[in-house]
Structures are given as C-alpha cells and as structure tokens.
Structure 1
C-alpha cells in the first residue's frame, strides 16, 4: 500500500477506538427497524427477567449453539492466514498479523451472550431455549428497548443483529485488518491499534457470525466480554442447568424513560406449545397484574403441541 493510498484511506477513518469504528461503519447490518424482539426462556427465567429487570448473559461456550463461535474463527483464520502467506517474511505487517492471530487463538477473553429473535413463535427457538414444555417468549417493543440501558461498569449494551451472510462476515474481518494495517503503516513508534486490541475487536464480532443454515432464526445478540486483562471484571456467577454448571453474568437494566417507572418495555407474552397453555396463561396474567404489567397481552403459540 502506497503512502498516498494510506492517506486517502485515513480520511474515512476516525482513529479513536476500533470496536466503535467498525460498529458505526457496518451499523445498517447490525440493526434495522422492526416492531419487536423476543427473548425465549422458561417460566422461571421469565419471572426473573420481569421481576428483577435483569437478563442473564450465558457463556457462549456452554450455549446450545456454542460451536457457532468456531465458525467465526474459521472465517477469520482463512483471511488472516492468506494475508500472512502473501507477505514477505521480513515485512513488519506479517509479524503484526501473526501476533494478532496468536492472541486471538490464545486470548483469555470470556464471551457472554443474551439472545433475542425477530419471531415470537418459532419452533427451533422453543426447542432450543425454553428447555421445557412451559416455554415463554417475552416480546419487547423494539424502539423502547433501545431506551433501556443494560449497564455494567461504565458500558451500555444493546442487541445487535446476527450476520449470516458469509461474504459480509469476510468484509467485516477484512475491514478490521485493513484499518489496523493502516495504523501500522502510519505509525512512527507504535501502531494506533495494538495486536491485542485488533484481536479483541475481532473476538467481539465473531459471536455475531453464524452459518447461513441458521438464518431462519433471525437472531439478535447482546455481547458482553470478560477478560483477566481488562481493568474491570464483571461478576461471574454460576447456575446448574441440565447436565452442566453454566457460567453467566447478570445484566441489570435501567429504563431512561422515567414515566415508565423503570419497567421493561414488554409488549406481549407468548406461551410455547404445551398441554397446559390456558392454565399457564391465567397464572401469568395474575402475576403480571401484580408486578406492574396489567395491560400486557398474553398469547398462545400457534404451533401444535405434541
């Protein structure tokens, strides 16, 4: 890359922080205007979210689709290794990229995820997340959901759309790498973005990459990272689930719309396929009326119970 090309590229880059930069450039792919997002859980989970105004972000390695993180790593490995092989051994960019990939493979970052879906009555989600015949889908008003801060330390977390398009996944990884190489090219002492920050940025976006075969899920995710190298450590908690002890982090919410009395923007509850739907609905209706949600409609899944 010539100096003029570097300077031309730099005009379009705000060299402050890599994650916000990439998020801004690809914003239209990570969000869109929809009416609602749905969170699938069971009765116990739904009660905890509504009563405590808290979501549990589960460790990605222990989720139902934990293998999907390896999909993102494979996409990244293919791109980085190809770039490395194209560079001469003595080229500083080669050593820089090799360090990025080494850190990415060995980094101590734990990744936690809260999942949402654009559909509130989807069979694959009932099977994967409700974990019992008493599955619950909590519908949240989309625009209001972004008035809610998921607050940890001094950071806010919002749902981002999962990327299923393989070519777009590659574009995002290539952009991260290109920006980092530009910073290396322009540096006189050290690059604007260290290999550790580049690896952390790639690692941040990888949980938003899933194989195209899962696209019917229309999933959104809140991503939270925890690393021993971070100045702030989110409190790690554990709970038993089926045959594992699941690590998780609590995301407490705070509604910035004061007239809502800090209530979550719940716009409906959908009860999953079950032989006791109507009885369950009566109990949920009574519960909601007594915890400040008297007008939230309750619907039954249209999927036949088996």
Structure 2
C-alpha cells in the first residue's frame, strides 16, 4: 500500500474535468434524481419499504398513515440529495476502464479528513425572486387558518424557507454487506416509527423537530449499494441543503437541466470569517496527489500534468502513476 493512501479518497475523472477542477477549485455533486444508473441510490429505499410492508400488520392506522409520508411506495431518488463519488482504491482497474475509454484518465487523491463545503451561488439572505406562496408554510396556523402568535403579538415561525441548513459534507464508505444493510434498515425504520408515534401523541408545536427526519435518514439509505459493485470500493459525500436558490446550479444533461452543487474548500473569500458551513468564494481543494491512469506515454503525461500544477501554484501535489500494465 502506498504511503498515506488510507488518508485519501480517489476521485476518478478525465482530462477535461481535471483542468476545470484545478482552475476553479470546485468539485460537482450531482442531484441524486438525475443519476444515470436507474438503481443508484434506490437500494436502501427499496429495502426500507419492504421492511415497512413486513411490519404493516402490527401497526395502527394512524402510524401507517404517518410512515407512508416518509416511506413512499414509489421508488424515487431524493431530489434534495447531492452526491460526489470517489473510491478508497487509488488504482482500480474497474474505474480506469470506466473513465479511460478514449484518453488518459486521472485519479485525484483527496484528503478525506478535510471537509468540503457548498459554494454559494448568490450572496442574498432572502429569495430574490420568491414564487407565489413561498412563505405560506412559514408560520403556525390555527384551525381557521389564522397565524398563531406569541403573547407579544409576534408570529410563531415553524420554518423559515430562507434559513440556511446544510447537512453532510464528509466522506462516508458505501455499504455493500447485506447483513450491515439490514441492521441499518431496522434502525432507520424504528426511528421513523418512534418519530411518527411521538408526533401523533404531542402538540402541533412539537412537530417542527420532526421535519429533518427524512434528510437525516437519507444519508444511510443512500450509502446502501448492491454487493455486486463491491470492487468499486466507493466512498461518497452526500449533501442536503436549504435554501436551494442560494446553492444549486444547473447544467445541460441527457435528462434535462441537471441540478448540482459546487463543493470547495474553506479558506476562500467569505463575507463572514466565522462561517464554516459554506463558502462565498472557492478555497483550495484538499488535493494531495494525482495519479495518472494506465498509458504507454506515462512520462509525457506526467510532464504536462506537473506543468499544469505549477501554473496553478500546486507545487506540493504529488504526481504518481498507475501500476496496472497498459494493454493496447
């Protein structure tokens, strides 16, 4: 094993994307709802639904109705999840084959202990172009639809749609082992059931605390993958954030305009030096090494890569080669 490899995760990419990453100090986490693999990020949700169906006979009607809200029958990936993938294997033949069809590919060795944060799209603190009804669910309302107030007359806010909430940003290994997956499914199901039961038995004012449940459980669900892909040794950063208008970009893709989030390092331009949840300007990515994929021209590829790194002042980034023999 190469020195310090255990501290790195490897993001495989092609030359064009590598140039963009080094120039802009950003990695793109794509919307889970637009992933190419039809089964990607669905395995956990499918297993959770099946466990729910197995338990349905022992549940009360109101608990079933509550769980239906959080464990839908329709297999749909969360549009609120943004995913960046890498591998714990820095010299994977599977990954080289996927990214090196027509040209030399590269693997960026990223320090797994350095968090990545979303890069803000806008500086505003409130939606610059709110749609109709944007604030309708912001306040607590009584049975007549009137806004409930505190004794001093100020409205009771349930959820401010412009409040900044960012979850995730750390590398987590994908879970391939079926037994470990089953344990996660049971744990998630039990937490959801307990949450629904508590919500059904308490006052309306306590319900906002349950709002984050779907986001907090999705990370574990989104880490479950069929064991047939075990050789990828995938690791993921999964990010959920609010408000989307502040952080979500779009690019053209096969399925339409694909939403994505730009992830960067802290240390760039920021209006608030104490803000560590996101960045207003790109900071240096924690790239420690770049490995060149199998090629008969490894010397030339290394020379041009080192030149590019020098142009960007990345003099401390190590350049290495795949040890897999090249086959024409």
| In 2, Cα distance between equivalents of 1:302 and 1:108 | 38
Aligned equivalent of 2:297: 276
Q: How many residues are matched?
A: 263
Aligned equivalent of 1:209: 224
Is the 8 Å Cα contact of residues 118 and 261 (structure 2) preserved in structure 1? no
Aligned equivalent of 2:153: none
Aligned equivalent of 1:300: 321
- The alpha-carbon deviation at position 253 of structure 1 amounts to 1.4
- The alpha-carbon deviation at position 38 of structure 1 amounts to 0.9
Is the 8 Å Cα contact of residues 215 and 240 (structure 2) preserved in structure 1? no
Matches within 5 A, 1:9-24: none
Secondary structure of 1:255's match?
coil
Cα deviation 1:65-93 (Å, max 9, x = unaligned): 44232322221121111111333xx5422
Aligned equivalent of 1:249: 260
Q: Which of residues 124, 135, 150 in structure 1 aligns to 2:94?
A: 124
| In 1, Cα distance between equivalents of 2:103 and 2:326 | 9
| Residue 73 (structure 1) aligned with residue 45 (structure 2) | yes
When Rg is computed on C-alpha atoms for both structures, the one with the higher figure is 2
From the superposition, tell whether residues 127 and 107 of structure 1 become closer, same or farther in structure 2 (CA, over 3 Å).
closer
Matches within 5 A, 1:1-306: 34-60=6-32, 62-63=34-35, 65-87=37-59, 90-102=60-72, 105=75, 109-130=79-100, 132-143=102-113, 145-146=114-115, 148-151=116-119, 155=166, 157-186=169-198, 187-190=201-204, 192=207, 197-225=212-240, 231-233=243-245, 234-239=247-252, 247-256=258-267, 262-306=283-327
- The alpha-carbon deviation at position 106 of structure 1 amounts to 6.1
| In 2, Cα distance between equivalents of 1:130 and 1:149 | 28
From the superposition, tell whether residues 205 and 142 of structure 1 become closer, same or farther in structure 2 (CA, over 3 Å).
closer
- The alpha-carbon deviation at position 118 of structure 1 amounts to 1.0
| In 1, Cα distance between equivalents of 2:76 and 2:252 | 26
| In 2, Cα distance between equivalents of 1:126 and 1:169 | 28
Secondary structure of 2:260's match?
strand
- The alpha-carbon deviation at position 184 of structure 1 amounts to 3.5
Is the 8 Å Cα contact of residues 183 and 192 (structure 1) preserved in structure 2? no
Cα deviation 1:238-297 (Å, max 9, x = unaligned): 145xx6767241324133599xx9432222111111233222211111110111112322
Is the 8 Å Cα contact of residues 33 and 79 (structure 2) preserved in structure 1? no
Give RMSD over aligned pairs: 3.2
| In 1, Cα distance between equivalents of 2:44 and 2:36 | 16
| In 2, Cα distance between equivalents of 1:100 and 1:85 | 18
Aligned equivalent of 2:279: none
